Amino acid sequence: MAVGRRVLVFIVLAVANAAAFATAWRITGRTLLEHATMLPGSPRADAAAERVRPALERELATQGLRFGAPAFVRIFKAEHELELWLARDDGSFALFRTWPICTWSGALGPKTRQGDGQSPEGFYRVAARQLNPTSKYHLAFNLGYPNAYDRAHARTGDFLMVHGSCMSIGCYAMGDPAIEEIYTLVAAALAGGQPSFEVHAFPFRFTGADDARFADPEWGDFWRELSAGYFAFERAHVPPVVRVVGGSYAIDPGAATPAP
């Protein structure tokens, strides 16, 4: 009888804990995978996905791509472009769409300190916790600045985003219609099992090892480091492994892994 009572108490406590857990996390309407990856949600993000997902899925189908496939993002300041690539079944990535960047702030060159008004350049990684479905700029995701390279160079700043609206103080502003599509696709990739996605933010599209802009006295050497990641992806269409060694970016071909 005592054993039976203990079992009953255990069941009651388990049910109560589960109910409290579900209430705290608002599991209703979410998939277990979304909950497991702590993917944040909001009525705003849900409404945006409902608006844009049908057309996105039709366009994906014409390109042989899948909604929820792993994502990869590239940003080009000078060209005012954001690319979103999605994984094929063979593991390589295909360019799905390029959106115009509504605005970014500062000049060509990386962000170096809090308040400099610069939009970052470098290799960044975005996990589910970095999504902001209630941003004051509609929808947003945090790039994760400063990364290991930035910290190695004592760079400061925070809350550098890709977001909606068309105003920027160090962020990449895409406008609300574009961010709804971009956010919906990267959120689907994270909900589909991708632990995080890479964002490579470049000053411009590189032309080759002899790019004249590498002669820039302030940022030429830095841009040359970035170009190694650009060309590694151009060759294989697979995001390279990016490490920081001795305060410099080290680029290894192959699928990207979390930065140390």
pLDDT digits 0-9 by tens, 144-192:
999 999 999 999 999 999 999 999 999 999 999 999 999 999 999 999 9
Token digits of residue 58: 């039709």
Predicted local distance difference test score (pLDDT) of residue 25: 31
161 strand-pairing partners: 142
> Nearest to residue 95, comparing CAs of 46, 122, 129, 59?
59
**2 in any annotated domain:** no
Residues 18-28 have a mean pLDDT of 32
What residue ranges in the chain does DSSP mark as E strands?
71-76, 81-87, 93-100, 103-104, 122-127, 131-132, 140-142, 161-163, 172-173, 196-202, 241-245, 248-252
**Which candidate, 111, 145, 153, places its Cα nearest to that of 125?**
145
Bigger pLDDT: 48 or 34? 48
Catalytic residues: 163, 171
Question: Is residue 24 scored above 50 in pLDDT?
Answer: no
User: Is 5 part of a structural domain of the chain?
Assistant: no
Q: What percent of the chain has pLDDT over 70?
A: 83
Predicted confidence (pLDDT) at residue 31 exceeds the cutoff of 50 = no
pLDDT of residue 226: 98
**pLDDT value for 26:** 33
Whether pLDDT at 122 is above 50: yes
Going by pLDDT thresholds of 50, 70 and 90, the confidence category of residue 254 is low
CA distances for 73 relative to 11, 52, 178, 229, 239, angstroms: 46, 19, 14, 13, 10
Contacts with 2 (C-beta within 8 Å, 6 or more apart), sequence order: none
User: Would you say residue 101 lies in a domain?
Assistant: yes
Identify whether 14 is part of a domain. no
Tell me, what's the pLDDT at 165? 98
Backbone φ and ψ for 114, nearest 5 degrees, come out as -55, 130
Please spell the DSSP secondary structure of 178-242, one letter per residue: HHHHHHHHHHHHHHTT-SEEEEEEESS----TT-GGGG-TTTHHHHHHHHHHHHHHHHHSSPPEE
In a domain, 58, yes or no: yes
Q: Tell me, yes or no, whether 161 lies in a domain.
A: yes
Query: Which residues does 121 contact at the CB level (< 8 Å), separation at least 6?
Result: 77, 109, 110, 111, 201, 202, 203, 222, 226
Structural domain count, the chain: 1
Stretch 34-53: mean pLDDT: 85
For residue 87, the domain's CATH number is 2.40.440.10
Q: Residue written as tokens 């203990």?
A: 6
For residues 113 and 92, give the distance between their C-alpha atoms in angstroms, rounded to a whole number.
Answer: 36
CA dist 160 and 140 (Å) reads 10
pTM over 0.75: yes
pLDDT tens per residue, range 89-108: 999 999 999 999 999 999 99
- Give domain status of residue 21, yes or no: no
Q: Is residue 20 included in any domain, yes or no?
A: no
Mean pLDDT within 216-225: 97
- Round the average pLDDT of the chain to a whole number and report it: 87
**How much is the pLDDT for 38?**
79
Confidence band for 202, pLDDT divided at 50, 70 and 90: very high
75 has which bridge partners? 82, 201
Of 26-30, 37-41, 69-73, 136-140, the least confident? 26-30
Query: Which domain does 186 fall in, by range?
Result: 32-252
In sequence order, the β-bridge partners of residue 142 are 161
**pLDDT confidence of residue 253:** 75
Quote the CA–CA distance of 198 and 200 in Å, as a whole number. Answer: 6
Please report how many Cα atoms fall inside a 13 Å half-sphere around the Cα of residue 165, on the Cβ side. Answer: 15
**Type of residue numbered 253:** P
The mean pLDDT value for 79-86 works out to: 98
pLDDT of residue 21: 30
Picking from 50, 58, 18, 13, the residue whose alpha carbon sits closest to that of residue 35 is 18
Give mean pLDDT, residues 205-227. 96
